[in-house]
Structure 1
Amino acid sequence: MKFESLSVLAISIGVLLFGMFLKKRFLILEKFCIPSPVIGGFLVSIVVWLLSFIEVKIDFDTSLQTPLMVAFFTVIGLSGSFKLLKVGGTMLLIYLSCCWFMALMQNVIGISMMSLFDLNKLYGILCGSVSLEGGHGNAIAFGGMVEELSDLNNAKVLAIAAATFGLISGSLLGGPVARYLINKHKLKITTNQDIKDTDPLKHEIHIASYKDFLKSLFLILCIICIGFYLSSKFTHFSGYSLPSYVGAMLIAIVVRNINDIFNIFKLNQYTIDTISELSLGIFLTMAMMSLKINELSAVAAPLFITLMVQVLFLLFFAIFVVFRLCGKNYDSAIMCAGLMGHGLGATPNAVANMNAVCTRYGLVSKQAFLIVPLCGAVLIDMLAIPLNTYLINLFA
């Protein structure tokens, strides 16, 4: 059974809506912030896998997956304003440095563990910062890159399995880590009063017009085209594989910061966020639907052991390093809860962790809610994505 690209797009949207329905229906999915595309797409991949036992093969044409993926990374780049560094002050730089070190160490641990099991080092990168710090979006993107550059046909499914494991682990451990720190050090439940009530980073959100949407879409498509062109030229002349989504993201960062200086055009955050959510949702669903689950069995045990080591590392790093560097106070304890969320899963997990702890103690840490989402969703990728690209090229 073969489904061409337009049919796959329609199926993906239907599966995404079904995933949203299930997430609202089952509270445990909401609690762990499992993405709707992962829920719906994974169920389809299981059905496809079961059908293979009765010799029914289903083939999805996922050619639309690449432009959707590049659009998502382009929007990440458009959020990468260097002005954000000034807003968070010294504490943001300290936390961001910790995040960058964490991303580096996750790759070191992953590569070391896979070498110990005498497996390909590329597996180690995929169960390092690619899937843990990067989440499902990066897992699918870089998993596809590894499959293109090597003979590891199960790279994508391994990366997604690691991302899912991290997502659940980060949700389970964030709150307990913060509570342990607060009780262990008998912290006063007070917060930094210097953080203003109005978040200067928040853009005016409104229902955009047709023209607003068209202008945002035009900008994103122009950046994508330039990213495709420059990535191909760079790869051709250097012999170093630069994926189109990395090229587009870097161009988007340049465009954003030039616009911050000269104010050439006004970015409509509502339309940009809508395009980001739409492209990520369909791209993730499409990728999850086409997973080959049976290819994971060969590396299941090494993967599980490696991920357990990754979780232990981040636990010790948050408790003994990040907590102390960030002030050894209530704000830093909340930030550690956030670090467990996005360091193993995704930024929504970080926010959910921090919100749960702040609700428990009746005080919102404005500093944590300003710094952690900025670093987890945007700033960490400015180093982590080029680093992962370099390492994959190095070991491929």
Structure 2
Amino acid sequence: MEVTLNGYYTLILATLVLLMGRFLVKKVKFLEDFNIPEPVAGGLVAAVIVYALNIVWGYSFNFHQDLQTACMLMFFASIGLSADFARLKAGGTPLLIFTAVVSVFIILQDVVGVSMAKLLGLDPLLGLVTGSIALTGGHGTAGAWGITLEEQYGVVGATTLGIAVATYGLVAGGVVGGPVARRLINRLGVQPSAVNPNPTPTEELAGKQSLYSTKHDEEDVYRNKEIFEKPDNIRLITASSTIESLALFAAALAFADIMTNVGQGTWFELPTFVWALAGGVILRNVLTMVFDFHMFDRAIDVIGNASLSLFLAMALLSLKLWQLTDLAGPVLIILLVQTLVMIGYAYLVTFRIMGKDYDAAVLSAGHCGFGMGATPTAIANMQAVTDRYQPSHKAFLIVPMVGAFFVDIVNATVLQIFTKLPFM
């Protein structure tokens, strides 16, 4: 029996999934320790319930796709609208170097995924899902590319697999980051020290001023700390700033729609969400650099985070878990290899290129976090290290900007190139 739900009921169920996820994350220590997102925690439970209803009573559910797509596009537009290239200057040369290190790893991750998939007899496009789509990209990118692979390339189960791989990545990234950093720090001979885990703003600023000389640098550090270290903090947003931000989102989505239609059948045909990200990047940097327009980042962050949560809740409600049965064994092998590659790269490449010092060790822990999982995992990894040893303000400036903003732009570019390769 097929049940079709309109936009209203889809939205209601999505919000219930989010509330259930919040409850589970607060009550289950494992979920909290490994930074499992609330939409994922609640959504996986909902997916199991939907699966049980299908097996026992034969119910099949169709959810409102337009609403899900709109939330996905708004999330990617928020990434673009947050990607201020002026911050590259604030991070300096280390930010550029770290971005390059991460970019090379994204390519390596996809090479490993595609090679392993072909070796195990799977569709090479599934290798991208077990590569940077779900690992570096996380749940949002996994859901977006999953839909694209299913609709445009006929890859059955891409969305379901992507969500599962991204969930594995969150756990794996949180598990391996700390040990990698500790081993590197022990090599350096740095001893654990008593660090105040909750410094006052004056103490925190005094430490940062030894590294950053401009007001812009300090604002970036505080903004990153507010967004990524304290995501539940109250953010003061006015009605006018919300409307202004929504207008920017509307412009980015309109740009994405126009470019998707214009690009059909041409060499620059791209998924709509890639154009939404690109539209946000163009808007952000043209308005700030040319017109000196002040973006209200708090509103952009909140709208983007809410859109991602709703999109993930709807995507997980639509999961078809039975599609993963035949893929479980080969996919697990690929993921274990990807985990070993991440450890080796962070240990041998990230640490050495970033300076072979304490900051480089903390950056390596952060790279493990978002290279396998997501930026919050990277932040949690670095917090665990700095709480035991000493602060690393350099790492807390660089990792959030690369992990949350620039890596998605690089990842989208690399994936688009891979999908066009003849052996795919």
Amino acid in the other structure paired with 2:31: L
State how far apart, in whole Å, the 2-side matches of 1:49 and 1:149 are: 25
Q: Mapping of 1:20-31 within 5 angstroms?
A: 20-31=22-33
- Aligned residue for 2:248? 219
Q: Mapping of 1:183-202 within 5 angstroms?
A: 183-187=186-190, 193-195=210-212, 199-201=218-220, 202=222
- Aligned residue for 1:295? 323
- Aligned residue for 1:229? 258
8 Å Cα contact 2:34-2:377 kept in structure 1: yes
Whether 1:332 and 2:360 are equivalent positions in the alignment is yes
Which of 369, 388, 392 is matched with 1:360 structurally?
A: 388
8 Å Cα contact 1:98-1:322 kept in structure 2: yes
State how far apart, in whole Å, the 1-side matches of 2:184 and 2:61 are: 50
- Aligned residue for 1:382? 409
State how far apart, in whole Å, the 2-side matches of 1:167 and 1:42 are: 14
The alpha-carbon deviation at position 393 of structure 1 amounts to: 4.0
Amino acid in the other structure paired with 1:230: M
State how far apart, in whole Å, the 1-side matches of 2:64 and 2:304 are: 22
Whether 1:84 and 2:87 are equivalent positions in the alignment is yes
8 Å Cα contact 1:189-1:330 kept in structure 2: no
State how far apart, in whole Å, the 2-side matches of 1:263 and 1:187 are: 47
CA RMSD of aligned residues (A): 1.9
The alpha-carbon deviation at position 45 of structure 1 amounts to: 0.6
8 Å Cα contact 2:177-2:368 kept in structure 1: yes
State how far apart, in whole Å, the 2-side matches of 1:19 and 1:328 are: 40
Which of 306, 317, 328 is matched with 1:278 structurally?
A: 306
- Aligned residue for 2:397? 370
**TM-score with structure 1 setting the length:** 0.95
Distance 1:336 1:47, change over 3 A: same
Amino acid in the other structure paired with 1:392: T
Which structure 1 residue ranges, 4+ long, deviate > 6 Å from structure 2? 188-192
- Aligned residue for 1:4? 6
8 Å Cα contact 1:170-1:344 kept in structure 2: yes
**TM-score with structure 2 setting the length:** 0.89
Which of 156, 170, 177 is matched with 2:180 structurally?
A: 177
The alpha-carbon deviation at position 389 of structure 1 amounts to: 2.3
Whether 1:164 and 2:192 are equivalent positions in the alignment is no
- Aligned residue for 2:108? 105
8 Å Cα contact 1:232-1:244 kept in structure 2: no
- Aligned residue for 2:127? 124
State how far apart, in whole Å, the 2-side matches of 1:206 and 1:41 are: 26
The alpha-carbon deviation at position 244 of structure 1 amounts to: 1.2
State how far apart, in whole Å, the 2-side matches of 1:282 and 1:177 are: 34
Residue deviations 1:90-145, cap 9 Å, x none? 11111111100010000000000011012111000111011110000000100111
Structure 2: give runs of 5+ residues left out of the alignment: 194-206, 227-233
8 Å Cα contact 1:146-1:392 kept in structure 2: no
Whether 1:44 and 2:46 are equivalent positions in the alignment is yes
Amino acid in the other structure paired with 1:41: G
State how far apart, in whole Å, the 2-side matches of 1:296 and 1:141 are: 18
Which of 15, 18, 21 is matched with 2:17 structurally?
A: 15
Residue deviations 1:212-246, cap 9 Å, x none? 1111111111211111111221124x065411111
Identity of aligned residues (%): 37
Structure 1: give runs of 5+ residues left out of the alignment: none
